[in-house]
Structure 1
Amino acid sequence: MVRPRDNRADGTGPPARPGAAARHTDDTAVGPARHLAAARRIPGWLKATTIVLSVLLVGVIAFGAYWVIRLQGNITTQALGAGNSRTEGAPDDASGRMQILILGTDTREGKNSKYGTKDDSSGYGHSDVMMLMDISADNKRVGVISFPRDLLVDAPACKDPKTNKQYPAQSGVMINAAMTEAGIGCAVDTVNKLTGLEIDHFMMADFNAVKELSNAVGGVDVCISDAVYDPDSGLRLPKGTSQVKGEQALAFVRTRHAFGDGSDLGRIKAQQGFLSALVRKIKDDGTLSNPARMLSIADAITKNLTIDDGLASVPTLLTVGNRLKTIDVGKVAFVAAPTEPAESDPNRLQLAEPAASELFAAMRKDIDLTDPTAKPSPSASPSASPSATASAAPSAATPSAPAYNKALQPVTVANGSADAARANDVVTALKAAGFSQTGQFAAQAVATTAVYYGPDFADVAKDVAALLGIPAKQVLPADVAGVQVYLGSDYKSGTKQADAPVSLPPDIVNQTAGDAKCQQANPALVVP
């Protein structure tokens, strides 16, 4: 056996015995090896604590995994759009400005069959509740804009993502039917076209979602001016404040006749009142900081929810929900899109101008609806950035080879600028460009210029806007004959427009989530 070389500087020899031999020797003279000393006993309390912690850790992991899998399995998805182009990328779900279209479907399939037959809702169903939730980039305010189900709009061409069937554009259709043929994405595209925004996500819930959510939070307090009974929805409430949950909560948000004058506008205010009370309940009860209650609510919601692919993960939903935790309820503004009876059908509604255009322009600029004089939030999304709303560069000539005869197109100039010279400049510019069928008239003063167009005049309106330097997002469909250039005080001359000051209709905010309001009962349904 070759002994290991001794390299120690002091000249001492190698160890008397290799470690292995010392550990296993039977020679009692050698003595016990250091590593075979009597084992130190682990205290019983430490063993027990270690076992308990291990069990708890495994339990927490298993519990978390169970809920993630369960919630993820609850989620149903559809495409965000229906074939119409987008100019914005995916939003930052944690800190970017975000718009979410919230829909309530009238489908009678599955658990909803007790509210009617499948024949009561065709195709993908109708969106009998439609609200656009706009979360600011700094997470300090939320705007919720409701669209009446009877509002007549122009729907773009849409493609059903499941069948790839193409559906043509439609004019003057009820907004709640936008999703019937091509799915939720077509409703999203329709609201994009209507507002000039680009919606980032959608959430669609059915009847059962309201029942289970109201049960999960332990009921929602609502108030009504008089005792009321609506046999159609089954809503029966006494005068004053009541707590509703389950079927009565659903009846409260579904009823079309119990509030106001019995129209959809009364129902919108009741729905906004319900959501305001729900927000206060969740905030006051500390639900957002209570994991057990949050899981119960998340389970109730996701079981009855359809969302777009961009939201289709539990972490993403939690990220979005987390953004709402610290928002002041006084900065959650509920608004109804300004409407008036439609000229084509008094039983339907159309956007009231210029109020609707002013609202949508303020939203595109990310204006605080509760305080229009406040500065927009930092890090706003591209749709709210100055570059997105800046005036288009003036064009010296109209687009080449238009698919129409400019001399035959009816173009009127509504002068809301309070300056007759501006209207004259615009008429001169239009006629010089070949739009010879042009006239003008005095109109109500407005701040923001817009170009409105009737059915089949979208291409003409686009060219007129380009000629006059009016941004594309201020070109909107409306119930007008041909094309109407509605001049605002922002317009400087016939070929140049300045950035418009912010202008909002008075009392545009119905209420904030901090307001506890009583709904006015419909006199026709008041009971003793």
Structure 2
Amino acid sequence: MSDRRTNRTNRSRHRGLRIALYALAGLLLLGAGAAGYAYWRLNGNIRSVDIDAQLGTGRPPASTGGAFNVLVLGSDSRAGSNGSLAGGDTGDSARSDTAMVVHIDHDHAHASVVSIPRDTLVSRPACTAPDGTAVPAARSVMYNSAFEVGGPACAVKTTEQLTGMRMDHYVQVDFAGFASMIDSIGGVDVTTTVPISDQDSGLRLPAGTHHLGGAQALAFVRTRHAIGNGSDLGRIELQKQMVKSIMRQVGSIGLTANPARMWSVADKLTRSMTTDSDLASVSSLVGLANTIKAVGPDQMTMVTLPVVTAPSDPNRVVPQKAQAAALWTALQADQPVPQSVLSEQPTNPADGGASPSAARAAGHG
């Protein structure tokens, strides 16, 4: 019996990137009646956006050979229950507080995850906002402004122009949904070698290892002013640490053997999600989970888009042309992240400092 439990735990740990999607799949094991209700309930939770209809044909070609890309955004909307968790103020707008391009390779055995700093200055293409308003093209604007002024489709179009790659899928998660999901898995453990006291995020932690609930975990991934050099690059490193912490926690609780907890995670996750229309069902999400079932934590490479301080504004960054080009070219060709990019990545400020590349981009807003 103990061997079976050990094997089950090892399988759970290996799921990593796809674990939240397998939570949905596992619900189908609860019996025909329960599965039917679960399917109906969870499908009703998911919001969707028809990216293809809004963007038309003027896009990079669809991915081929089995590889595909997913744009994952964390929205800083203050709407509804997000307001009490978010801190700060964006008025009535919402921006992409977190942005990751997830590239799944052709044999679905490895993922490369590229975080795009929200303060990166880019050329934003002309877009159409969700209400039908035309959004003109703009040069040298913050990357996260695309979502703010034009919604998901504009964020996808801007990302495709930046990367040269088709975003085959889109997933958006809001503040409240992230916090609820953390609570539903029982919280997560994080370690920091320096004390953190950030007035904006509300996070206050002494140095050491801490078990964080949802609200604290959200504050952790939003913290930047009181740690390292205060840049968004440092915050991105905290977000990478959080992803790994979530993977470890999900693996440790044996989610697939706990139907009640599985239901809680799936319900809270789908309530917080907006996806492209092709992913907006339990069956589609389960299909995606099956596609990437070989990808575990050890098969995932997480990097930040190489950037340098913008010549026009010390509080903004721009892509480091040679390294950024090498990164996108490699992923377009379904190749691993180049070593030249890996060697210049920022370090986690919670581990006591920042790399030279982070220092060069210090202080951006």
State the TM-score, normalizing by the size of structure 2.
0.81
Correspondences of 1:225-240 after superposition (within 5 Å): 225-240=193-208
Q: 330, 343, 363: which one pairs with 1:507?
A: 343
| Identical-residue share of aligned pairs (%) | 37
Q: 78, 82, 86: which one pairs with 2:59?
A: 86
Correspondences of 1:247-262 after superposition (within 5 Å): 247-262=215-230
- Distance change >3 Å, CA 284–CA 366, structure 1 → 2: farther
Q: SS of the residue aligned with 1:221?
A: strand
Correspondences of 1:186-197 after superposition (within 5 Å): 186-197=154-165
Q: SS of the residue aligned with 1:100?
A: strand
Q: Is the radius of gyration larger for structure 1 or structure 2? A: 1
Gaps of 5+ in 1: 1-58, 373-502, 512-516, 524-528
Partner of 2:237: 269
Q: SS of the residue aligned with 2:147?
A: coil
Partners of 1:230 and 1:174 in 2: how far apart?
Answer: 23
Partners of 2:262 and 2:86 in 1: how far apart?
Answer: 32
- Distance change >3 Å, CA 223–CA 116, structure 1 → 2: closer
Deviation track 1:62-98 (CA, whole Å, cap 9, x = no partner) reads: 2111111110110111232543513535x79xx9322
Partners of 2:104 and 2:331 in 1: how far apart?
Answer: 11
Structure 1 residue 139 corresponds to structure 2 residue 108: yes
Partners of 1:87 and 1:133 in 2: how far apart?
Answer: 16
Gaps of 5+ in 2: 1-29, 355-365
Q: SS of the residue aligned with 2:313?
A: coil
Partner of 2:45: 74
Q: 89, 98, 110: which one pairs with 2:68?
A: 98
Residue identity matched to 2:99: M
1:327 positional shift: 2.1
Correspondences of 1:19-418 after superposition (within 5 Å): 60-80=31-51, 82-83=54-55, 85-89=58-62, 96-115=66-85, 120-123=90-93, 125-160=94-129, 162-287=130-255, 291-369=259-337
Q: SS of the residue aligned with 2:55?
A: coil
Which has the higher mean CA deviation after the structures are superposed, 300-309 or 277-286?
Answer: 277-286
Q: SS of the residue aligned with 1:154?
A: strand
Q: Judge conservation of contact 2:68–2:106 (CA < 8 Å) in 1.
A: yes
Deviation track 1:471-497 (CA, whole Å, cap 9, x = no partner) reads: xxxxxxxxxxxxxxxxxxxxxxxxxxx
Q: Judge conservation of contact 1:224–1:519 (CA < 8 Å) in 2.
A: yes
Residue identity matched to 1:507: S
Partners of 1:231 and 1:221 in 2: how far apart?
Answer: 22
1:521 positional shift: 5.8
Deviation track 1:291-342 (CA, whole Å, cap 9, x = no partner) reads: 5443322211111111111111111111223344432322211100000110
1:117 positional shift: 9.2
Q: Judge conservation of contact 2:127–2:137 (CA < 8 Å) in 1.
A: yes
Q: SS of the residue aligned with 1:346?
A: strand
Q: Judge conservation of contact 2:147–2:155 (CA < 8 Å) in 1.
A: yes
State the TM-score, normalizing by the size of structure 1.
0.57
Q: Which has the higher helix share?
A: 2
Task: Show structure 1 runs of 4+ deviating over 4 A.
Answer: 115-119, 288-292, 508-511
Partners of 1:98 and 1:285 in 2: how far apart?
Answer: 30
Partners of 1:209 and 1:310 in 2: how far apart?
Answer: 21
Number of aligned residue pairs: 324
